[in-house]
Amino acid sequence: MLIPGRFKLGTFSSNCSGGMSITKVPERWSASWEDNLRLARMCDAAGLDFMLPVARWVGFPGDEIEFMHSVLETTTWAAAILAATRVIAVISTVHTAVNNPVVVAKQIATLDAIGNGRPGLNIVAGWFEPEYKALGLQLPKDHDTRYGYAQEWFDIIRKLWTEEDRLDWPGKHFNLEQVYTDPKPKRGTVPIINAAGSAQGRQFALNNADFLFTPAIDLARSRTEIADIKAQAVAKGRPIDVITFSHVVCRPTEAEARDYHAYQISQSDWGATDYAVAAQFATALSFPHDLLIQIRTSFAAGHGGFPLVGSPEQVVDGIEQLIDAGFGGTGLSFVNHADEFPCFAQAVLPILERRGLRSIAR
Domain count for the chain = 1
Query: Does the residue 293 lie in any domain?
Result: yes
**Mean pLDDT calculated for residue range 75-97:** 98
Query: Does the residue 125 lie in any domain?
Result: yes
Query: Does the residue 3 lie in any domain?
Result: no
Structure confidence at residue 282 as a pLDDT band (50, 70, 90): low
Distances (CA, A) of 127 to 20, 140, 145, 197, 282: 17, 9, 12, 11, 9
Query: Does the residue 267 lie in any domain?
Result: yes
Specify the range with the lowest mean pLDDT, choosing from 150-164, 252-266, 346-360. Answer: 346-360
CATH number at residue 115: 3.20.20.30
User: Residue 101 pLDDT > 90, yes or no?
Assistant: yes
Q: With contact defined as beta carbons under 8 Å apart, do 322 and 246 qualify? A: yes
Mode of pairing for the β-strands spanning 50-52 and 8-12? parallel
Q: Give the pLDDT score at 20.
A: 92
Average pLDDT of the residues of the chain:
93
Which pLDDT tens digit goes with each residue over 138-186? 999 899 999 999 999 999 999 999 999 999 999 999 999 999 999 999 9
Query: Does the residue 1 lie in any domain?
Result: no
Q: Give the pLDDT score at 291.
A: 58
Instruction: Give the Cα separation of 89 and 119 in Å (integer).
Output: 6
Question: Could you list the residue range(s) of the whole structural domain that residue 282 is in?
Answer: 8-355
The highest-confidence range among 5-9, 90-94, 130-134, 291-295, by mean pLDDT, is 90-94
Q: Give the pLDDT score at 118.
A: 98
Q: Give the pLDDT score at 90.
A: 98
| CA–CA–CA angle 318, 51, 240 (5° rounding) | 70
Q: With contact defined as beta carbons under 8 Å apart, do 267 and 329 qualify? A: no
- Whether omega for the bond prior to residue 183 falls within 30 degrees of 0, making it cis, is yes
Query: Does the residue 62 lie in any domain?
Result: yes
Structure confidence at residue 326 as a pLDDT band (50, 70, 90): very high
Longest CA–CA separation in the chain, Å? 63
Please state the pTM of the whole predicted model. 0.94
Which pLDDT tens digit goes with each residue over 28-43? 999 999 999 999 999 9
Burial class (CB within 10 angstroms; exposed 0-12, middle 13-18, buried 19+) of 26: exposed
One-letter amino acid at 237 equals G
Query: Does the residue 43 lie in any domain?
Result: yes
Q: Give the pLDDT score at 288.
A: 54
Q: Give the pLDDT score at 77.
A: 98
Query: Does the residue 196 lie in any domain?
Result: yes
One-letter amino acid at 324 equals D
Return the higher-pLDDT residue of 290 and 208. Answer: 208
Q: Give the pLDDT score at 360.
A: 46
Q: With contact defined as beta carbons under 8 Å apart, do 261 and 249 qualify? A: yes
User: Residue 289 pLDDT > 80, yes or no?
Assistant: no
Neighbouring CB atoms inside 10 A of 359's CB total 11
